[in-house]
Amino acid sequence: MAFPAGFGWGASTAAYQVEGGWDADGKGPSVWDTFTHQGGERVFQNQTGDVACGSYTLWEEDLKCIKQLGLTHYRFSLSWSRLLPDGTTGFINQKGKYYYNKIIDDLLTNGVIPIVTLYHFDLPQALEDKGGWLSEAIIESFDKYARFCFSMFGDRVKQWITINEPNILAIMAYDLGVFPPGVPHFGTGGYQAAHNLIKAHARSWHSYDSFFRKEQKGMVSLGIFAGWAEPADTNSVSDQEAAKRAIAFCLDFFAKPIFIDGDYPEVVKSQIAFMSKKQGYPSSRLPKFTEEEKRMIKGTADFFAVQYYTSRLVKYQENKKEVGFLQDVELQVFPDPSWKRLDWVYVVPWGIRKLLKYIKDTYNNPVIYITENGFPQGDPASLDDTQRWEYFRQTFQELFKAIQLDKVNLKLYCAWSLLDNFEWTRGYSSRFGLFHVDFEDPARPRVPYTSAKEYAKIIRNNGLKESL
């Protein structure tokens, strides 16, 4: 099962989840610093990313892990407030710039291609104080930050992700309020944030296109989280429609405006308008794009970056009056009882193949990068994660089928994650790393799981040894 020549094998991390050094060398506070320091059990055991994997001072150790795997690509994110402590270019933190320059240069010296995410959930607190993603002012702030990064690092970085999982951020942070700033706005905040996230991404893409692309010759996209949804009862029309809605509200909500026509899917617009009317709102809770904005948003991605972990069965469930993003979709999601479970991830490798085929068919056969996919280690005490590796192996089989049988234009796979790290509200209780990190040891030693050794073989062979 050899993958196509030149296929990319990577691993991903994110600044807040691995760096630590939360206030080192002039870094400004991010919303996650504020949120975790407030306590209140919003994060598992009130854990924080203050030290995390210590990657801010232990980058050389991370580089050893990257070289040990033989990665062709490494995806990491920039901490906005490490570079620009108050979120603006009024003050540039030179030590932050030095840190990321070193990572980029070291990767290139070792033949590894950097994929850089501008923003991975860790908004500078100074910008959250001005309204964060609920405020239209954020669009300008993000665009200026993006231009700063393109100008500082774009001579060497050719693959950019503007925003990581905007769909997850909008729901978790601004609808449910379980991510910082921690204030729920059921049924309104998520849509307002999503609206601004889409416009901010589009603006920064145009900035790259107008001012940097000709000289730097790079590519820009955004990383969309997507699960696969299957109707619980394949003979039920209402379940089939609910499964379509699930994909529309998760994936197409962001992908259709950006890849197709600058506007939300019709089913999303009609469903939210219908629910809003039922709840007595004078108009839809979903903001509208102007015609000018639609033109600005359409076609603002150079490849399709998707992040898949799991799938669900979906059943129609009528919602009478409850207001909320999840309630608007009018469905119930649950796993098939036969699916194996690791933490929140139900193991459904065939879901990724279906998702890739859907993206190919819906979005004009784009070049696809899987920028995250992975499984948590079931037994954190053991480095032998043979069972977890089996799920990775099954996933690679499905990717091979997607490329060979479905003719999906998949060019890159990035495992989440290079290291065990701070998994947001789960803290350190959930371990997705290819390398085990001992969070009790101040030296934060990195030791490979069995999965790391096996993944290195896949990379060396550019695929699996067995045939289809």
Which residue in 128, 372, 398, 423 is the catalytic one? 372
pLDDT digits (tens, 9 = 90+) for 13-26: 999 999 999 999 99
Tokens 């920039």 sit at which residue? 78
The closest of 419, 464, 425 to 444, measured between CA atoms, is 419
The burial class, CB within 10 Å (0-12 / 13-18 / 19+), for 359 is buried
Question: In this structure, are residues 169 and 192 in contact, taking their beta carbons and an 8 Å threshold?
Answer: no
* Amino acid sitting at position 71: L
390 is catalytic: no
Cα-based distances in Å from 443 to 15, 177, 260, 436: 18, 34, 48, 13
**Over the chain (468 residues), what is each successive 10-residue block's mean pLDDT?**
97 99 98 97 97 98 98 99 98 98 99 99 98 98 98 98 98 98 98 98 99 98 98 98 98 98 98 96 98 98 98 96 93 97 95 98 98 93 94 98 98 98 98 98 98 98 85
User: What is d(CA 255, CA 265) in angstroms, rounded to the nearest whole number?
Assistant: 9
Two structure tokens written together for 466: 């067995």
Alpha helices in 80-212 (DSSP H): 80-83, 94-109, 125-128, 137-153, 166-169, 189-211
pLDDT of the residue at 468: 62
Catalytic residue selected from 19, 61, 128, 165: 165
Active site residue 398: no
Sign of the Cα torsion 197, 202, 205, 207 reads negative
